[in-house]
Structure 1
């Protein structure tokens, strides 16, 4: 997926195998009265957009080796609907640290990823996800960086590539933002 939606590859020059970090903001949530923020479910648009995000990921060949997902209901439901695109769905770890995390906190979690993971999917929340993408992207293809700077809406997907011996070597500015897309369901 590029900013226009086609497949793209890329990365920064450094030692190690190619790695890909796919960042997915949860789909649009509902705001039911009296429900704590962490427990908010997906709204009608989110229920349409989350499967569309899974389709977009599958069509772009972005099957994750591992998904790290916030424990918030809207993030877990987004992953359940998006991950159902694959049979079986990729392995997921639900991590409470992703809820409300800022870019440095998110990067700390990403750096704990096992070395055998080539493609990592991170499902979480803004503003942390947007900040993380901008923090890691040293460059971008097309207008992908401008799109993220403008807005990283619900169901947005950013794909960052880089080369490194292990995830703990990922540093600010080391990745190439190869795409940013916002899939919408019918």
Structure 2
């Protein structure tokens, strides 16, 4: 990767979860969520982004989403299961991304709302084409993801420095 080539971050909300009598952290995916996670994986593959790393919440629904989605990618990136991603605010998510090793150029973060949507809105100082309008129109539903590009190191990631380049949701 050249110095001028931007880093990419994909912010991926877990797919639709079920509501059985378990703690929130242990909620599994619903049948629709399992289907949507696989479709989202194919859409992630269609982006052509060669992911170097995945940062995934430790919640059952995020781990299941990633397991189904990553199966659709041409290669499996290094996956780090991070407890701090569960119920994280946009600021807490930025702090985790600031710790990303500089040799990881393309990262997918699998997490939860409202943090994922909030982080997308906080980071995206600019947007290409109609991506911001599509995201606003469809909302950040379960299984949705946003693609952002950023110049510089992970340590310099802060509000407004990214460009929203793509958005996809199962309901779109």
Verify same fold: TM over 0.5: yes
Aligned pairs for 1:114-129 within 5 A? 114-129=101-116
- CA drift of 1:148 comes to 3.0
The residue aligned with 1:152 is: 140
Tell me the equivalent position of 1:130.
Answer: 117
The DSSP-based 3-state class of the residue aligned with 2:126 is strand
- The answer to whether structure 1 residue 66 and structure 2 residue 21 are counterparts is no
- In the alignment, what sits opposite 2:62? 75
> Are 2:3 and 1:23 aligned?
no
Match of 1:142 among 129, 135, 139: 129
**Paired residue for 2:25?**
38
- Residues 16 and 142 in structure 2, CA contact (< 8 A), matched pair in contact too: yes
CA RMSD of aligned residues (A): 1.4
More moved, 34-43 vs 78-87: 78-87
Corresponding residue for residue 82 of structure 2: 95
CA contact (8 A) 1:130 1:148 kept: no
* Alpha-carbon separation, structure 2, partners of 1:158 and 1:88: 20
Does the 8 Å contact 2:54/2:109 carry over to 1?
Answer: yes
**Post-superposition offset of 1:91:** 1.1
Match of 2:162 in 1: 175
Structure of higher RCO (CA pairs closer than 8 Å, 6+ residues apart): 1
- What is the CA-CA distance between 1:146 and the residue it aligns to? 2.6
Cα distance in 2, alignment partners of residues 152 and 143 from structure 1: 15
Note if contact 1:56-1:183 (Cα within 8 Å) is conserved in structure 2.
no
Alpha-carbon distance in structure 2 between the residues aligned to 1:85 and 1:57: 8
* Cα-to-partner distance string for 1:29-61 (whole Å, 9 max, x where unaligned): 0001x2100000000110100011110011111
Give the whole-Å Cα distance in 1 for the aligned partners of 2:160 and 2:41: 27
Query: Residue by residue, what CA displacement relative to the aligned partner does 1:111-167 show, whole Å, maximum 9, x if unpaired?
Result: 100001110000000000000000000111122223334410001110000111x10
Structure 1 stretches of at least 4 aligned residues deviating more than 2 Å after TM superposition: 146-150
In the superposition, the TM-score normalised over structure 2's length comes to 0.93
Q: Within 2, Cα distance between the matches of 1:38 and 1:147?
A: 30
Deviation at residue 180 of structure 1 after TM alignment: 0.7
